[in-house]
């Protein structure tokens, strides 16, 4: 690459990183590192201790536009790679341990979501990045070279993909990619070992295309606890679907004109969903959504909008939110190996990170946050706000 298009990644080291307006978040699987991307194109690496104390470690420069998404790009903790994408189509592959930019590419399209996917060929394991964004397919990219290998393409009603999830099968050699388009069409692709070996840009067409009338889809996530449910969060409601035939199990409208922006399963019978203003709510799912219940699927085919499930507790930290120049970014992560914390992480336009540890049961009254302010806003007495730090000095 030559001329004015040359991008030179630079690493700044220091105990206090510059303030940045956070646009995306990623917590590594070992829960020892948090990555934040910002609207100015920088990336910040934060170290997190087992006691959930956070300290900014490094600021990475390599993008010329706002960071739209972050994803891990390697499976293990010994070699920690991440990938970042920007509004201008740039993609960077980074080594988290030393901050080096390993690969850089620029595409004609911008990604809004990336998910790491690993598969086995014999004894070898290879990584892929499933990318979606402002284009009507899902691009499958080699995680080590950032080369586009092939595409998951729609024959029926092709459109931009709003959100995507990978359903890993432990019983067969087939994995499923489930996505929702901007027009509310649910798409299903099957990935087998043969498909994963493809290197020739041949498209893979969808196995199923089904309207689920989910306009404004913000996120779709697979329940790893039961492996039988999907949570679809739209701006005006959230829904639970059967992961087998995608039947609607329950639908919950938003209240008080709040706009949902994402959600995740935190247990087999609980979900957490969050709003544009930075508040989060944990709901207990009805029996019709629980595979272990005798009432599972009892509401299929009945009314689309059911009663509101019981609210277990809420996290309503509105302090200084009115001063922010853009909505905060909220994500949920849990440890795949020790420590097994379930973490709700939020970053805002002032470069601050807020961190909550979500308990499996109702904990005692929480302590004050690291800033000395009360850690929760009433009526939210059952969530521990562990840390609240700033990237700026």
Residue 131: which CATH number? Answer: 2.40.10.480
Is residue 200, in this structure, part of any structural domain at all?
Answer: yes
Least confident of 16-25, 75-84, 107-116: 16-25
CB 223 within 8 A of CB 231: yes
**Structural domain includes residue 6:** no
pTM of the prediction? 0.83
Percent of the chain beyond pLDDT 70?
77
**Residue (of 258, 367, 251) closest to 301 by Cα position:** 251
Residue 22 has pLDDT above 60, yes or no: yes
Beta-bridge mates of residue 229: 242
User: What average pLDDT does range 203-214 have in this prediction?
Assistant: 88
d(CA 53, CA 386): 8
C-alpha dist (Å) from residue 9 to 12, 34, 67, 129: 10, 19, 14, 21
What is the arithmetic mean of pLDDT over 33-43? 92
Banded model confidence at residue 165, pLDDT cuts 50, 70, 90 = very high
Residues 69-85, mean pLDDT to the nearest whole number: 89
pLDDT per position as a tens digit, 109-130: 999 999 999 876 666 778 899 9
Mean pLDDT computed over 138-151: 93
Mean pLDDT confidence for 335-340? 71
> Is residue 301 in a domain?
no
Cα separation, 143 vs 93, in Å, equals 8
* Segment among 6-20, 54-68, 189-203 with least mean pLDDT: 6-20
DSSP 8-class letter at 285: P
Instruction: Round to whole Å and give the CA distance between 252 and 168.
Output: 27
Would you say residue 70 has pLDDT above 50?
yes
6 compared with 90, residue with greater pLDDT: 90
**Count of domains in the chain?**
1
Residue 178 within a domain: yes
159 inside domain? yes
C-alpha to C-alpha distance for 85 and 73, rounded to whole angstroms: 12
Taking only the tens place, the pLDDT of each residue in 236-294 is 999 999 988 898 888 888 877 789 999 999 999 999 999 998 899 999 998 888 877 77
Residue 270 CB neighbours (<10 A): 17
How many C-beta atoms surround the C-beta of residue 192 within 10 A?
13
Q: Supply the pLDDT for residue 377.
A: 27
Domain presence at residue 270: no
Domain around 153: 111-211
Q: Is residue 186 part of a domain?
A: yes
In a domain, 28, yes or no: no
- Please tell me which residue, 187 or 318, carries the higher pLDDT value: 187
> Mind listing the pLDDT tens digit for each residue in 354-370?
899 888 765 433 332 33
Q: Which of 392, 391, 292, 388 is nearest to 52 (CA)?
A: 388
**Mean pLDDT value across residues 200-204:** 72
Q: For the chain, what is the mean pLDDT?
A: 81
Tokens representing 336 are: 């795949």
């Amino acid at each position: 690459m030559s001329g004015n298009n040359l991008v030179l990644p630079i690493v700044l080291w220091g105990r206090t990183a510059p303030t940045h307006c956070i646009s995306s978040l990623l917590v590594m699987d070992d829960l020892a590192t948090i990555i934040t991307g910002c609207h100015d194109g920088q990336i910040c690496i934060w170290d997190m201790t087992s006691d959930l104390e956070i300290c900014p470690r490094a600021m990475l420069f390599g993008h010329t536009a706002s960071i739209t998404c972050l994803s891990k790009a390697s499976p293990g903790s010994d070699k920690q790679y991440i990938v970042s994408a920007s509004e201008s189509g740039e993609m960077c592959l980074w080594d988290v341990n030393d901050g080096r930019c390993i690969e850089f590419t620029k595409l004609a399209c911008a990604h809004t979501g990336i998910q790491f996917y690993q598969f086995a060929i014999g004894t070898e394991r290879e990584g892929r990045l499933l990318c979606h964004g402002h284009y009507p397919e899902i691009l499958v990219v080699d995680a080590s070279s950032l080369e586009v290998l092939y595409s998951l393409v729609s024959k029926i009603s092709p459109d931009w993909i709003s959100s995507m999830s990978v359903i890993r099968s432990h019983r067969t050699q087939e994995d499923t990619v489930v996505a929702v388009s901007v027009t509310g069409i649910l798409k299903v692709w099957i990935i087998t070992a043969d498909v994963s070996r493809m290197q020739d840009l041949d498209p893979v067409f969808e196995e199923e295309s089904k309207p689920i009338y989910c306009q404004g889809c913000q996120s779709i996530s697979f329940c790893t606890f039961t492996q039988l449910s999907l949570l679809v969060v739209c701006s005006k409601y959230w829904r639970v679907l059967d992961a087998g035939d995608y039947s609607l199990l329950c639908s919950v409208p938003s209240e008080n004109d709040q706009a949902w922006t994402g959600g995740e399963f935190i247990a087999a019978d609980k979900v957490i969903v969050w709003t544009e203003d930075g508040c989060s709510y944990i709901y207990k799912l009805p029996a019709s959504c629980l595979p272990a219940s005798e009432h599972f699927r009892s509401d299929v085919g009945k009314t689309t909008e059911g009663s509101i499930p019981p609210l277990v507790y809420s996290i309503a930290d509105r302090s200084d939110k009115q001063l922010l120049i853009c909505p905060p970014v909220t994500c949920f992560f849990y440890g795949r190996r020790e420590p097994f914390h379930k973490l709700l992480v939020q970053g805002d336009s002032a470069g601050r990170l807020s961190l909550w540890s979500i308990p499996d049961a109702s904990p005692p009254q929480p302590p004050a946050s690291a800033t000395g302010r009360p850690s929760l806003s009433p009526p939210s007495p059952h969530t521990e706000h562990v840390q609240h730090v700033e990237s700026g000095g």
